[in-house]
Amino acid sequence: MTAERTPRLGVGMIGHSFMGRAHSQAWRVAPRFFDLALRPEMTVVAGRNPAGVADAADRLGWAAGTTEWRSLLEREDVDLVDICTPGDTHAEMAIAALEAGKHVLVEKPMANSVAEAEAMVAAAAAAEQRGVLSMVGFTYRRVPAIALARQLVADGRIGTVRQVRAQYLQDWIADENAPLSWRLDKATAGSGSLGDIGAHIIDLAQFVTGDLISGVSGTLETFVTERPVAGEFSGLSGTAGEGRGPVTVDDAAVFLARFAGGALGVFEATRFAWGRKNAIRLEINGSLGSLAFDFEDMNVLNFYDATDDPATSGFRRILVTESAHPYIAAWWPAGHGLGYEHAFVHQVVDLVGSLARAEQPRPSFADGLGVQRVLDAVERSAAADSTWTTVPVPG
């Protein structure tokens, strides 16, 4: 099908900072490497600052810019709204877009509370009846090695899942003099390391195992309670001392988990692990073998087959760059690795494919609510001296 004959998908994006840049690159690149049943057009980007929006539209490839995000909902040439803003805005924007008949992609975590996420799920369910669909941007699902891990578990290659270990380690605020940002403000971000990066490993563990977390025991810690105030936080209320303001989120989160299928899990999310820039580590032990992944070596999946001859058994290092691997055939020759940005392209590919088939994209808003409920249970457990806390699991 030629580009001229391919049905158009007009995209409007809200927010153009870190995630907005990543999403913009994905919308630009996806139709150039993959054969898509719908043709994405980068119609308009919205932001708060006129100069910033104009610059973003020019640099990132959007046809127009606006400082009024609600104007996207009124445009007939916008079919999908891509929300790349802080968590405190997600519910309002997503619900308004769905009610206006626009498909929605919203960044993780889906919301700042279970109540907000539940309202978003209700709006998504109503919209789906009208053919309007929605998805949460848990992008690491689209890393080819992670997608292969899910395939191997689903195919029974490691047998019954028994244990899960998941870590997300960063160090970008390990320096106690790193300045305040919106990610350290609970009113805007919802939570700290738990929601910002812990949400990813919760989703990955549930995605790869095909199972849901049913209970947790957790603890949260804020190591640095005040930080230098700069930029947009210079007028922050409650500042203490000269030029410092309160940190109102957790710096690190650890929790034990039980999965509905019986497996045990150990989870850690921290932004205080010096030397770890973006280490997402997932190890799954089953009755017939194990899988291990580290995003800092993102093109590799390690696989142990316990049925191998003990004399020659060991972890097998799989370089996930063959055309037979998930997503790879559209890219480079074997051995030419992919990077962080490619997962966002794969997200666009999967989303557009689902929209073209008129089927619910995954992860759905219901999936996002499931992660939100785990985050909420960890927070409630931590507030009650790590009391074991049940997570509602759909029947």
Q: Is the peptide bond before 363 cis (omega within 30 degrees of 0)?
A: yes
pLDDT of 236: 47
Sequence ranges of the chain with CATH classification 3.40.50.720: 8-139
CATH (residue range 8-139): 3.40.50.720
Please give the model's pTM, rounded to 2 decimal places. Answer: 0.95
Residue 286 half-sphere exposure toward CB, CA atoms < 13 A: 24
Which DSSP string corresponds to 296-329?
GGTTEEEEEETTS-TTT---EEEE--STTSTTGG
Please give the DSSP secondary-structure letter assigned to residue 377: H
pLDDT of 395: 73
Please give the DSSP secondary-structure letter assigned to residue 286: E
pLDDT of 180: 93
CA 236 – CA 368 distance, rounded (Å): 30
| Residue 220 backbone dihedrals phi, psi, to 5 degrees | -125, 150
Q: Return the sign of the alpha-carbon dihedral for residues 155, 157, 160, 166.
A: negative
Q: What is the mean pLDDT of each run of 10 residues along the chain (395 residues)?
A: 78 97 98 98 97 97 98 98 96 98 97 97 98 98 98 98 98 95 92 96 98 98 94 51 85 98 98 98 98 98 97 97 98 97 98 98 98 98 98 89
The candidate with the shortest Cα–Cα distance to 264, out of 166, 196, 155, 369, is: 166
The candidate with the shortest Cα–Cα distance to 41, out of 16, 65, 11, 61, is: 11
- Note whether 142 and 327 are within 8 A (CB): yes
The one-letter code for the residue type at 237 is S
Sequence ranges of the chain with CATH classification 3.30.360.10: 142-334+365-389
CA 135 – CA 277 distance, rounded (Å): 27
Please give the DSSP secondary-structure letter assigned to residue 259: E
Angle CA(6)–CA(10)–CA(12) in degrees, nearest 5? 155
CATH, domain 142-334+365-389, list 3.30.360.10, 3.30.450.40, 3.40.30.110, 1.10.3720.10? 3.30.360.10
The strand pairing partners of 10, in sequence order, are: 41
The strand pairing partners of 25, in sequence order, are: none
Helix (H, G, I), strand (E, B) or coil at 386: coil
Q: What is the largest CA-CA distance in the chain?
A: 67
